[in-house]
Amino acid sequence: MALLDKFRLDGKVALITGGGKGIGAGCARAFAEAGAKVAIAARTRADLERVAAEVAALGSEALVIEADVLDFPQLRELGPQVLAHFGRLDILVNNAGGGPPRPTADIGVEEFEGIFRFNVSTAYELSRLCAPLMVESSGGGSILNISSIAGHKPAPCFASYGTAKAALSFLTRELAQEYAPRVRVNAIAVGSTKTDALNTVLTEGIEQTMVELTPMARLGEVEDVALGALYLVSPAAGYVTGDILGVNGGLERLNMQMPRAWGGMG
């Protein structure tokens, strides 16, 4: 096999949460271009149908699953639905998650636990359920968690989101130890990436500051993350597990400047 062929996903099936837009949609397109069939799950059918059409244009097939990962009965049906449609499951991308930077004083424990549930508990439950399905249907597989640089570099106003992503990154390493050698488990620590979620807080001034604080002198594109994802789930990364790949422009501190609780900027 030629080295570049190891990046191919021919015959593989991937399940991607949050697959209707942003990084999830980018992963779906990248995997489809590499030969995989994809199951994309999200809450908004219109977004899913648009991505499915893009996948079809690339010569592959997408299974659209309208579901909310925070509804655990729905979450638990995702793997069985993929098996029923495609007959196998090889790849899981736990992409759904998020949470804006906000002062800790404004986030009560109930909301804190909700952010943790959204970013960590959903990935835990889906990984726990899908890993056996991968082994049973394909002999093994790969799990990829979309984490964040915020889980590695502390900063003001990221106590909830950053803590959740730190937990997701450590969960990645834990599961990698438990599931080796049949199922590889890795994560990507993304930086500021141009998605709809970032656009909700992005102004021209904020973007300029973020770019100035990023060693690579630009914000990330969805394709940057999708290419890292393709590597980690493909045979090219067959000896890689428990790794947290940084796709964040070289950040050594967060580039979104937020105020400290009692004056000053982060």
Given the residues 124, 161, 179, 231, select the one marked as catalytic.
161
Let me know if 179 is a catalytic residue.
no
Positive or negative: CA dihedral 31, 191, 250, 245: negative
Active site residues: 161
